[in-house]
C-alpha cells in the first residue's frame, strides 16, 4: 500500500496527529504492557550468547581430570547463578559412578595411495564413535556399501577396515562378525542430511570389542574414499586411539528464585545441560540452559528494581542430564515433586531460524494431560511474535517498516519470528515432569539441521532469537509464579477464550470432512466423526478449566470458581453440534440422500464391549511408554501412525474400552478405523503387554426375576 503526497494533502493534518490517531490498543497478554516492556528491555540475547560461549565454545575433548570434579558446564552454570543472585545454588551428584573411557588421542589416517590425516578428535570430537577403543590398527579398506549382511557377500574383510554408507553401529556389528578390525561409516540421519551438509558428522556411539575401532565420517570424506576405490585405487587406513579409564558420574545444577513465603506452591523451569558427557551441543541443549540462566538473571534484576513483583511461588531452575537427571532430582526431592504445579522446559532455543528453515515451536501438553499451562505459554509466544513484526495498521511513520516494538539484539538478526503452536511431542524433560504428575510444556526450534552433530556449534545461533525466547520465557514464568488470585482469573479467562478457538478448530475439521465426503455414505461417517471431535474437545476444555483451580490461593475456592464454567462449555458444545447437524443435513440434501442419525456399527459395538488393561512389565524390563514413548508393543506387526502412539501408551492403563480409546485418539488427531485400533491392541495382547477382556455386565441392565 502506497500513500501519495496528494492523499496527505487531502487529509490536511500534521503528520504527528496522523500517526497518533492511527494507533490502536496494543495486543494484550497476561502481564501489563509496562511489565512486558520492562522484560523486553532487560532480557539480553547477547548475555545468553555469552553463557553458551562459556559452556561450549567448541566441541572439545573432555580432559580426564574433569571426572574428578564438577564438569565444566556445571561449574559455569553454578558460578553465573551465584553471581546473578540466585538462591540455594547447588551442584548435586546422583547414582553410582560407572567405569567409562575418555579418549585423549584419536587420529584416522589414509596411508595409501597417499598419506593424509582424515580426522583428529581434537579437530572433530564426534569423529571417533568407539569411545572405549585403544590401539594402533592398520589395514586395507573395503567398501561394503550400506553395510547390510548381503553387502558383505563375496568380500573378504578379515583384518581390514570397512567403509560404509550406512549406519556406523549397524555396519560395525556385521563387520566384526567377519573379522574386520575397523568400520568407517556415517549415521543414517547424517546420510539424510548429506546433500545440504556434506561436512557434518552425526553423533554415534559404538561399544567396540578389543582390537577393533569405529569411526564416523562426513558424507564428503566417505564419498571421496568410495570414489578412489571405485577407480581401482588400493587404500590403506591407520587408526591411532588412546583412551583413559574414568569413573563416569552424573550431576545436575539446581538454583532458585525464592517466593515471598505466602504459599507452599512452587514452579520450575528447565533445560538439559548434558546428553551424555562426551557429546556437547551448543543448541542441544546448552542453549536452553544459557537461555533460562538469562531469564533468571533478568527476573532477579527486575524484582530488585521494582519493575516486577516478587513472585509468591518459589521458582526452581533445573539444569540436568536429559530426562534421567530430572527423574533423579524429583525422586531425591519428593517435597519438590509435591510442591511444583507447572514447568517450562527449554530444549534447543537459539538456532537462527531462517538458516535452519525452522519455526520456534511450543509443544503443548497432550490431551491425556489437559492443563491451564499451555495457554500461558501460547499467550506470551504470540504477543512477542506480533510485536516483532511490522503491521500496516500500526505503522509509526511513512518511511520505515518498523515492528511495533522491536525485540532484537544489537548483534543479532532482524529475521521474522516464525512461531508454531503444536500438539505434544515427547523426548525431553517436560515428559519426565508429566510422568511425575506435573504439567509441563516444551519450547523448541525445529527443524534443527545441526543437532546431534559435529556442527552443533555457537556460530549457528542468533542472539535475537535468544532475546525473543527470553522475553517469552520470562513473561510466562512471571505469570506462572505470580500466585495471586488476580492472575489466576486472568489465566482462566485465557483458557476459556483459547478453548473456544480449539473447539472451533474441531468444528472446522468436522465441517471440512463432511464437505469432502465423496460418496453417499460419506457425510454420515464424517458427521459421526465431527460430533466425536467436538465432544472430545469439550471434555478437554472442561479439564483445562478444572486444572486452573490450582492457581488460586485457596484451591478449594478455585475449584468452585472454575466449576461454574463447565456447563457453559457444554452449552457451547451443544451449539456447535447443532451447527454440525445442520451442515450434515445440507450435505446429505446435496447428495440426495437421507440425513439419518448414524448408528453404532457391529465393529463399534464389539469395541465398546472390550476393556483394555496394561500388563506390568517383567522384572528388569525398561519403563513403559507415554508422553512420547509409545508404550510397550511388539517389534513387528500392525501399528498406528507415529503421532498416535504416545497417547495410546497413556490411554491403555486407564482401563477404557477399545471404542473409548479409538474415540479419544480420533478426537485429538484424525479419525482412526476401529479395526486398526483393535488390530494393534490384539498384537500387543499377543506380545503380553496388554490384556483385553469383555466388559462386565451392568447389573442395572439385567432384568430381575419374579
Q: Dump pLDDT digits (tens) for 251-308.
A: 999 999 999 999 999 999 999 999 988 889 999 999 999 999 999 999 999 999 999 9
Q: What are phi and psi of 216, to 5 degrees?
A: -105, 130
Given a contact cutoff of 8 angstroms between Cβ atoms, the answer to whether 573 and 538 are in contact is: yes
- Per-residue model confidence (pLDDT) at position 617: 80
Provide the pLDDT for residue 188. 62
643-699 tens-digit pLDDT: 899 999 999 999 999 999 999 999 999 999 999 999 999 999 999 999 999 988 776
Q: Cis omega before residue 113 (within 30°)?
A: yes
Tell me which residue has cell 553423533. Answer: 203
* pTM exceeds 0.75 for this model: yes
* Cell numbers representing residue 544 in the block: 483445562
Residue 665 in contact with residue 644, Cβ under 8 Å?
Answer: yes
Three cell numbers, residue 614: 496394561
Cα–Cα distances in Å, from 28 out to 31, 293, 380, 408, 580?
8, 26, 9, 20, 32
Coil, helix or strand for 521?
coil
Which backbone phi and psi does 122 adopt, to 5 degrees?
-80, -10
Give the C-alpha separation, 600 to 608, whole Å. 10
Q: Which residues of 37-70 are buried (b: 16+ CB within 10 A; e: fewer)?
A: ebbbebbbbbbbbebbbbbbeebebbebebbeeb
Bridge pairing between strands 340-346 and 266-274 = parallel
d(CA 400, CA 396): 8
Query: Could you tell me the three cell numbers for 551?
Result: 492457581
pLDDT digit string, tens, across residues 551-566: 999 999 999 999 999 9
Element (H, E) at 102: strand 87-112
CA distance 631 to 637: 15
CA angle 494, 500, 505 (to 5 degrees): 125
Could you tell me where the beta strands, DSSP code E, fall in 314-397?
Answer: 314-321, 340-346, 359-363
- Residue 100 CA to residue 303 CA, distance in Å, equals 45
25: which DSSP letter? P
Grid look-up 462386565 returns 696
Phi, psi of 249 (to 5 degrees): -110, 160
Compute φ and ψ for 512, nearest 5 degrees. Answer: -65, -40
Would you state the pLDDT for residue 478? 98
The per-residue pLDDT for 404 is: 78
Residue from 256, 299, 290, 248 nearest 272 by CA: 290
Distance separating alpha carbons of residues 590 and 582, to the nearest angstrom: 13
Distance CA 30, CA 372 (A): 13
pLDDT of the residue at 421: 95
Helix H segments across 363-484? 373-387, 429-435, 463-481
Name the CA radius of gyration of the chain, rounded. Answer: 29
pLDDT for 233 equals 95
- For residues 198 and 239, the answer to whether their CB atoms sit within 8 Å is no
b or e along 529-548 (b: 16 or more beta carbons within 10 Å of the residue's beta carbon)?
bbbbbbbbbbbbbbbbbbbb
Ranges of residues in the chain whose predicted pLDDT is under 70: 1-26, 188-194, 393-400, 520, 620-635, 699-706
Residue 272: name the closest of 97, 89, 65, 444 by CA.
444
Classified as helix, coil or strand, 643 is helix
Q: What are the Cα distances from residue 54, in Å, to 120, 136, 265, 287, 498?
A: 23, 35, 33, 11, 40
Q: Report d(CA 495, CA 321) in Å as an integer.
A: 33
Quote the pLDDT of residue 698. 72
Predicted local confidence at residue 627, as pLDDT? 63
Amino acid at each position: 500500500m502506497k500513500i501519495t503526497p496528494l492523499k496527505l494533502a487531502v487529509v490536511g493534518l500534521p503528520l504527528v496527529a496522523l500517526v497518533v490517531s492511527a494507533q490502536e490498543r496494543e495486543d494484550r497478554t497476561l502481564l501489563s504492557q509496562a511489565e512486558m516492556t520492562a522484560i523486553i528491555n532487560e532480557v539480553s540475547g547477547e548475555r545468553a550468547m555469552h553463557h553458551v560461549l562459556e559452556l561450549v565454545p567448541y566441541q572439545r575433548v573432555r580432559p580426564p581430570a574433569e571426572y574428578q570434579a564438577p564438569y565444566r558446564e556445571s561449574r559455569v552454570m553454578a558460578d553465573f547463578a551465584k553471581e546473578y543472585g540466585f538462591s540455594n545454588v547447588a551442584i548435586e551428584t546422583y547414582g553410582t559412578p560407572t567405569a567409562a573411557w575418555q579418549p585423549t588421542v584419536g587420529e584416522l589416517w589414509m596411508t595409501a595411495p597417499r598419506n593424509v590425516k582424515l580426522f583428529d578428535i581434537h579437530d572433530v570430537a564426534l569423529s571417533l564413535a568407539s569411545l572405549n577403543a585403544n590401539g594402533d590398527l592398520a589395514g586395507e579398506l573395503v567398501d561394503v556399501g550400506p553395510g547390510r549382511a548381503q553387502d558383505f557377500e563375496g568380500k573378504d574383510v578379515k583384518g581390514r577396515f570397512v567403509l560404509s554408507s550406512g549406519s556406523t553401529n549397524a555396519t560395525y556389528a556385521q563387520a566384526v562378525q567377519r573379522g574386520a578390525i575397523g568400520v568407517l561409516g556415517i549415521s543414517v540421519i547424517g546420510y539424510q542430511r548429506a546433500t545440504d551438509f556434506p561436512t557434518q558428522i552425526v553423533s554415534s556411539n559404538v561399544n567396540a570389542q578389543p582390537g577393533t575401532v569405529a569411526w564416523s565420517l562426513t558424507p564428503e570424506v566417505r564419498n571421496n574414499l568410495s570414489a578412489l576405490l571405485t577407480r581401482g585405487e588400493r587404500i590403506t587406513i591407520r587408526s591411532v586411539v588412546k583412551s583413559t579409564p574414568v569413573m563416569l558420574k552424573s550431576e545436575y545444577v539446581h538454583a532458585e528464585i525464592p517466593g515471598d513465603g505466602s504459599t507452599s506452591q512452587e514452579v520450575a523451569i528447565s533445560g538439559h545441560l548434558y546428553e551424555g558427557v562426551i557429546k556437547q551441543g551448543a543448541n542441544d541443549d546448552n542453549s536452553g540452559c544459557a537461555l533460562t540462566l538469562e531469564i533468571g538473571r533478568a527476573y532477579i534484576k527486575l524484582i530488585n528494581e521494582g519493575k516486577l513483583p516478587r513472585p509468591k511461588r518459589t521458582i526452581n531452575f533445573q539444569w540436568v542430564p536429559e530426562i534421567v537427571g530430572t527423574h533423579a532430582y524429583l525422586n531425591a526431592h519428593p517435597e519438590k515433586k509435591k510442591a511444583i504445579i507447572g514447568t517450562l522446559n527449554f530444549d534447543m532455543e537459539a538456532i537462527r531460524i531462517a538458516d535452519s528453515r525452522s519455526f520456534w515451536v511450543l509443544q503443548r501438553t497432550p490431551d491425556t494431560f489437559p492443563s491451564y499451562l499451555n495457554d500461558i505459554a501460547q499467550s506470551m509466544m504470540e504477543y512477542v511474535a506480533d510485536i516483532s513484526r511490522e503491521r500496516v495498521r500500526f505503522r509509526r511513520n511513512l518511511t520505515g517498516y518498523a515492528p511495533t516494538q522491536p525485540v532484537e539484539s544489537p548483534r543479532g538478526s532482524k529475521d521474522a519470528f516464525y512461531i508454531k503452536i503444536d500438539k505434544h511431542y515427547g523426548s525431553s524433560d517436560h515428559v519426565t515432569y508429566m510422568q511425575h504428575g506435573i504439567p509441563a510444556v516444551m519450547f523448541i526450534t525445529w527443524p534443527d539441521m545441526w543437532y546431534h552433530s559435529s556442527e552443533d556449534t555457537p556460530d549457528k545461533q542468533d542472539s535475537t532469537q535468544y532475546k525473543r525466547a527470553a522475553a517469552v520465557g520470562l513473561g510466562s514464568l512471571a505469570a506462572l509464579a505470580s500466585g495471586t488470585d488476580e492472575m489466576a482469573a486472568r489465566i482462566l479467562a485465557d483458557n476459556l477464550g483459547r478453548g473456544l478457538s480449539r473447539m472451533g478448530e474441531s468444528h472446522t475439521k468436522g465441517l471440512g470432512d463432511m464437505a469432502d465426503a465423496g460418496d453417499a455414505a460419506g457425510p454420515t461417517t464424517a458427521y459421526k466423526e465431527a460430533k466425536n471431535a467436538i465432544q472430545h474437545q469439550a471434555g478437554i476444555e472442561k479439564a483445562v478449566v478444572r486444572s486452573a483451580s490450582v492457581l488460586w490461593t485457596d484451591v478449594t475456592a478455585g475449584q468452585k470458581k472454575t466449576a461454574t464454567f463447565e456447563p457453559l462449555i457444554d452449552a457451547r458444545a451443544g451449539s456447535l453440534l447443532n451447527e454440525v447437524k445442520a451442515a450434515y443435513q445440507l450435505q446429505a440434501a446435496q447428495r440426495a440422500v437421507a440425513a439419518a442419525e448414524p448408528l453404532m456399527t457391529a465393529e463399534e459395538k464389539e469395541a465398546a464391549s472390550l476393556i483394555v488393561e496394561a500388563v506390568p512389565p517383567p522384572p528388569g524390563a525398561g519403563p513403559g511408554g507415554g508422553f512420547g514413548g509409545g508404550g510397550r508393543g511388539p517389534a513387528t506387526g500392525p501399528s498406528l501412525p507415529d503421532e498416535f502412539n504416545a497417547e495410546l501408551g497413556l490411554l491403555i492403563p486407564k482401563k477404557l474400552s477399545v471404542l473409548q480409546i479409538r474415540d479419544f485418539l480420533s478426537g485429538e488427531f484424525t479419525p482412526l478405523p476401529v479395526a486398526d485400533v483393535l488390530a494393534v491392541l490384539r498384537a500387543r495382547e499377543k506380545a503380553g503387554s496388554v490384556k483385553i477382556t469383555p466388559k462386565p455386565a451392568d447389573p442395572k441392565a439385567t432384568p430381575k426375576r419374579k
